[in-house]
């Protein structure tokens, strides 16, 4: 593992989020077309946007992985070759697949692209990994239910030419590797085709058959119990453990999340990985975890990586922790003034926290605040208005100015 540097693989739900991931330090991005992806709720990419996104990534040395990881019905399989050809011509580096038939089609239509076996395949042993490698898979996304020790054993018993990818951060599904039937059963929305209704996040009560309408509380609160609610995964403090297990690519979940989420998680894990590369024996910089606590998230856990632990689920609620909001996005710098476009109202004197690509966060005071004409103002109340803030140096375009929510 000498000189080994893991890949940071980041989510992109649309072109804005793709550019955000690239700008904030991703080594690779993964995203879907308007079909065949496991996040139907995301905006995703039409053919023109896919070409634009891949060109933007490649121009900055970042790889582009396309998800074709739904379970496909007959009519969809007929349409798949044309989609693969479009992504191939756009320059896709890899296709993430679940269906064995889809794997065959990718090999035929895009023979020069890599095939990555999706987490939906539920690979939990070296024998299955080797079979998929023989079928053409360059990489296996290991099941979320594995411990680091089990991943180490898979690594020790598979060819070195086979890469292992694993999730390092984000939401965790209560069903095995995300292959859930609950959503389809309860709502008719198929989780295996990208349309999960997330019933695992709902509140539940107990009903006795002969007492209809009488709900029996099964938690410690009067709001029912979130008995299926898994906590979010966060492995930023365990980069060295994941590297030692033989994981080649660290994946951040979140194609349906905001561009702010993408920026923060990408920047934080970029910092964690870079710090590890400088000195594997030092703990992760404190600002990394501070950053990850500034995004909307459920209570964090380490998933199954260290075996079952008490912090894997929260039963009291299924909601998010939201402590910060984006105040404005930096658009330029001139004559000692940062120019930014407003996202959320704030008042003069509010201390803003700046997230800048390739840098640890820093504070920006707003003791002086101006509008687009240079007139001093007491507040910035109008979404999308241009504001100007004095600062001692240029701040990179695209940086996010944040405030306490």
Paired strand residues for 64: 29
| Burial label, 382 (beta-carbon count in 10 A; 0-12, 13-18, 19+) | exposed
Query: Which has more pLDDT, 22 or 44?
Result: 22
The predicted structure's pLDDT at residue 42: 63
Average pLDDT, the chain: 88
Paired strand residues for 137: 115
Across 110-123, average pLDDT: 95
Identify which of 225, 233, 199 has the alpha carbon closest to the alpha carbon of residue 309.
Answer: 233
Contact status, residue 109 vs residue 84, Cβ threshold 8 Å: yes
The predicted structure's pLDDT at residue 383: 86
Q: What domains are there in the chain, each with its CATH number?
A: 7-173+230-312 (3.20.20.70), 196-229 (no CATH), 324-404 (2.40.30.10)
Across 353-381, average pLDDT: 93
pLDDT at 396 > cutoff 80:
yes
pLDDT in tens, 188-224: 787 666 677 777 667 777 777 788 877 766 665 556 5
Residues 264 and 294: their CA atoms lie apart, in Å, by: 8
Give me 46's structure tokens: 């039409």
Across 314-326, average pLDDT: 66
pLDDT at 315 > cutoff 60:
no
pLDDT at 385 > cutoff 50:
yes
User: Which of these ranges, 27-31, 156-160, 200-204, 259-263, has the smallest mean pLDDT?
Assistant: 200-204
* % of the chain at pLDDT higher than 70: 87
Contact status, residue 46 vs residue 34, Cβ threshold 8 Å: yes
The predicted structure's pLDDT at residue 54: 98
207: alpha, beta or left, given left = phi > 0 and alpha = psi -120 to 50? beta
Residues 35 and 380: their CA atoms lie apart, in Å, by: 40
| Burial label, 64 (beta-carbon count in 10 A; 0-12, 13-18, 19+) | buried
Q: Which residues of 289-299 are buried (b: 16+ CB within 10 A; e: fewer)?
A: bebbebbbbbb
pLDDT at 322 > cutoff 90:
no
Residues 196 and 318: their CA atoms lie apart, in Å, by: 16
Residue 104: count other Cβ atoms within 10 Å of its Cβ: 15
379-380 and 400-404 beta bridge pairing = unpaired
User: Which of these ranges, 159-168, 295-304, 315-324, has the smallest mean pLDDT?
Assistant: 315-324
Residues 44 and 54: their CA atoms lie apart, in Å, by: 13
What residue has token string 């710090």?
A: 275
pLDDT at 123 > cutoff 50:
yes
Angle of helix 15-23 versus helix 259-278 axis, rounded to 10:
20
pLDDT at 14 > cutoff 60:
yes
Contact status, residue 263 vs residue 296, Cβ threshold 8 Å: no
SS (H, E, C) the chain: CCCCCCEEEEECCCHHHHHHHHHCCCCEEEEEECCCCCCCCCCCECHHHHHHHHHHHHHCCCEEEEEECCCCCHHHHHHHHHHHHHHHHHCCCEEEECCHHHHHHHHHHCCCCEEEECHHHCCCCHHHHHHHHHCCEEEEECCCCCCHHHHHHHHHCCCCCCEEEEEEEECCCCCHHHCCCHHHHHHCCCHHHCCCCCHHHCCECEECCCCCCCEECCCCCCCCECCCCECEEECHHHHHHHHHCCCCEEEECCCCCCHHHHHHHHHHHHHHHHHHHHCCCCCCCHHHHHHHCCCCECCEECCCECECCHHHECCCCCCCECCEEEEEEEEEEECCEEEEEECCCEECCCCEEEECCCCCCEEECCCCCEECCCCECCEECCCCCEEEEECCCCCCCCCEEEEEC
Paired strand residues for 276: none
* % of the chain at pLDDT higher than 90: 66
Across 167-177, average pLDDT: 79
Confidence (pTM):
0.84
pLDDT at 1 > cutoff 50:
no
Paired strand residues for 32: 67
pLDDT confidence band for 365 (50 / 70 / 90): very high
């Amino acid at each position: 593992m000498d000189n080994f540097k893991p890949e940071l693989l980041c989510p992109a739900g649309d072109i804005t989020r793709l550019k955000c991931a690239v700008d904030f330090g991703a080594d690779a991005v993964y995203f879907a077309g308007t079909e065949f992806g496991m996040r139907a709720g995301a905006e995703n990419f039409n053919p023109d946007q896919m070409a634009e996104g891949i060109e933007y990534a490649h121009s900055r040395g970042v790889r582009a992985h396309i998800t074709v990881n739904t379970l496909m019905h007959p009519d969809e399989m007929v349409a798949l070759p044309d989609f693969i050809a479009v992504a191939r011509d756009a320059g896709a580096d890899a296709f993430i697949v679940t269906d064995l038939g889809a794997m065959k089609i990718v090999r035929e239509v895009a023979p020069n692209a890599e095939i990555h076996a999706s987490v939906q395949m539920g690979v939990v042993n070296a024998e299955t990994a080797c079979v998929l490698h023989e079928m053409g898979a360059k990489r296996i996304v290991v099941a979320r239910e594995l411990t680091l020790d089990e991943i180490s054993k898979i690594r020790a018993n598979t060819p070195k030419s086979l890469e292992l990818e694993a999730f390092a951060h984000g939401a965790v599904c209560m069903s095995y590797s995300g292959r859930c039937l609950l959503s389809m059963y309860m709502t008719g929305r198929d989780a295996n085709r990208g349309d999960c209704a997330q019933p695992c996040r709902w509140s539940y009560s107990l009903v006795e058959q002969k007492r209809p309408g009488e709900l029996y509380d099964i938690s410690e609160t009067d709001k029912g119990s979130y008995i299926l609610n898994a906590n979010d995964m966060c492995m930023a403090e365990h980069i060295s453990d994941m590297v030692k297990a033989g994981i080649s690519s660290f994946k951040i979940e979140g194609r349906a999340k905001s561009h702010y989420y993408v920026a923060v998680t990408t920047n934080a894990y970029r910092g964690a990985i870079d710090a590890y590369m400088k000195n594997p024996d030092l703990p992760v910089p404190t600002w990394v975890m501070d950053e990850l606590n500034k995004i909307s998230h459920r209570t964090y856990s380490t998933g199954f990586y260290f075996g079952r632990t008490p912090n894997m689920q929260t039963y009291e609620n299924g909601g998010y922790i939201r402590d910060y909001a984006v105040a404005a996005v930096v658009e330029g710098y001139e004559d000692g003034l940062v120019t930014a476009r407003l996202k959320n109202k704030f008042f003069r004197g509010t201390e803003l926290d700046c997230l800048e690509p390739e840098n640890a966060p820093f504070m920006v005071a707003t003791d002086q605040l101006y509008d687009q004409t240079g007139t001093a103002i007491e507040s910035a109340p109008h979404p999308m208005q241009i504001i100007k803030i004095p600062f001692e140096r240029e701040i990179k375009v695209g940086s996010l100015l944040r405030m306490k929510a």
